[in-house]
A and B are shown apart, each in its own frame.
Chain A
């Protein structure tokens, strides 16, 4: 019987092709669109985790979710964060490491070559907190952060531009109007979400404060001991700062997870809605299958009459049409899947940075919807075919 239904598909090539194309376009678009959405989501997640794990970010000023401009409502200015604030945070048992951050821009020069780069002031712990890796030498020394040691770590590209292929470690460079000895070169990591670590210079936080003449900190990065301890750590950080700032809660602590979760949610929603839209096209192909099958039923009325006359039950006829629609949908879904995966391959070829691959749930849902609608919408034609009166069907011309 199966062979019989396949033969009828083969004999109506154009119609069959039409349905397979419609179905496969639907499936392929679900696969490609969700692959893009998933790719974007994973890209963002990866970028975030490259910033560090179990990370809390402390910055001055209070942001109310109600939309008040920080500080202005109460007529107060938020207190600055200081190196002492950062060191005080280490008292919390939930906190593993802290890295105070100041940031400025300075001209780095060696001999007659120079270059303007972002200059980051921090401590030795920054490397671990931000998951940085070194290409050569050491990171900032593990000394009291209040000491303005004249050393610096350069980004890979900065080193190349200033020193070329010659050795940089141990050389003295000038940043703004002070001299620093190069102790390490950062490994090339490429563009991260916030800044390109290839094009920075890192110096001790106290040196940066002197260099740029700012007594405060831009941020404090805090690494909690574990993921579970992020929330208590966040609270304790706020409490410690409040105690140090005369009872004012004038700092904001965000967890990277919170930011990440928001992005994750947004991108997931986008992926889902895009998949939903593509899913509609699948439903449309289902309706197309129904119409084509209905036409098939009327075109093959005499054949159905004959089958009944030679002993096919209504059930057999129904199964026959069912089988046709099912094999059509299956074929369409498979072709669509293959096309979709090929499309994804092409996209990842063009944008290698994007980890585009359709998630299994999307492939499953697409193929399921294709088969489901294909079969669902073939019920009606199959039912109609099975109900045909054999005498009438045979006499129809």
Chain B
């Protein structure tokens, strides 16, 4: 499903060029569960952003379902993200003034789905998460684990083919971290391809396939 060929990503800091990704070639199949590990600064987030179309490679090619997505326009990439990719972040990034259920419905709002369907889908997800009682709570009234589960529901609500999670447990204690991971794994079990960046070897080991990164290269 995902194919990276000789992908490089350089950042220019002052007059210095920092190669965050250095000649990465990688293939991820449909429905795979891949964990990405590596020391800080090794380029894990950069890779995930690239795969998630939040960033463009400096060189190399990226095809998604056989489509060359590197040269799509911004608007087309946004559409791609909306329909095919779900993001989960370390810092949750919920909209503070919206309730849990409204946060979950946000991607559907962007997609212009009818109100009825938005309600139905976000309600069902909340039910699956066991967070029904929290539906009308604002994020600051939720615990970290609850927030991350709401964020995962938001990422999954459009039924994307690809789920990207960048250290989703980084801000959580062990117990809620495990809850979050099992939720992601459940979604993977439903057929979503899952790419998970983590520092926790125990979590990393759970994936069927483990990618190690070092200094912008695959180890």
Please give the residue numbers on chain A whose beta carbons come within 8 Å of chain B beta carbons, in ascending order. Answer: 1, 4, 7-8, 10-11, 302-303, 305-316, 390-391, 394
Contact residues of A: prevailing secondary structure: helix
Question: A313–B110 Cα gap in the complex (Å)?
Answer: 9
Which residues of chain A have C-beta atoms less than 8 A from B154's C-beta? Answer: 310
Chain A nearest CB, measured from B158 CB (Å): 8
Query: Known contacts A4-B109, A311-B83; is A394 also within 8 Å of B93 by CB?
Result: yes
Q: Are A303 and B95 in contact (CB under 8 A)?
A: yes
Total interface residues on B, CB under 8 Å, equals: 27
**Is there an interface contact between A314 and B93, defined as CB atoms closer than 8 Å?**
no
What is the CB-to-nearest-CB distance from A323 to chain B, in angstroms, rounded to a whole number? 13
Contact check, B97 vs A390: say whether CB atoms are below 8 A apart: no
A1 to B158, CA, bound (A): 17
In the complex the two chains form, is B110's CB within 8 Å of A311's CB? Answer: yes
Residues of B at the A interface (CB closer than 8 Å) are: 49, 52, 54-55, 74-75, 78-79, 81-83, 86-87, 89, 93, 95-98, 106-107, 109-111, 154-155, 158
Contacts A1-B109, A391-B49 given; does A308 touch B78 at CB 8 Å? yes
In the bound complex, CA of A316 to CA of B82 (Å): 12
Contacts of B96 in A (CB 8 A): 11
Q: Which residue of the partner chain, among A4, A306, A310, A313, contacts B74 with CB atoms under 8 Å?
A: A313
Q: By the criterion CB–CB under 8 Å, are B93 and A306 in contact?
A: yes
A-B contact pairs, 5 of them (CB 8 A): A7-B98, A10-B97, A311-B81, A394-B89, A394-B93
Q: Which residues of B contact A310 (CB under 8 A)?
A: 81-82, 86-87, 106-107, 110, 154-155
With A and B bound together, what is the CA distance between A378 and B131 in angstroms?
A: 39
Kindly state the separation between the CA atoms of A310 and B54 in the bound complex, as whole angstroms. Answer: 10
Residues of B within 8 A of A313 (CB): 74-75, 78-79
Besides A310-B87, A394-B89, 12 other A-B contacts (C-beta < 8 A): A4-B98, A7-B97, A10-B97, A302-B93, A306-B93, A307-B106, A309-B52, A310-B86, A316-B78, A390-B54, A391-B49, A391-B54
The answer to whether A309 touches B54 (Cβ under 8 A) is yes
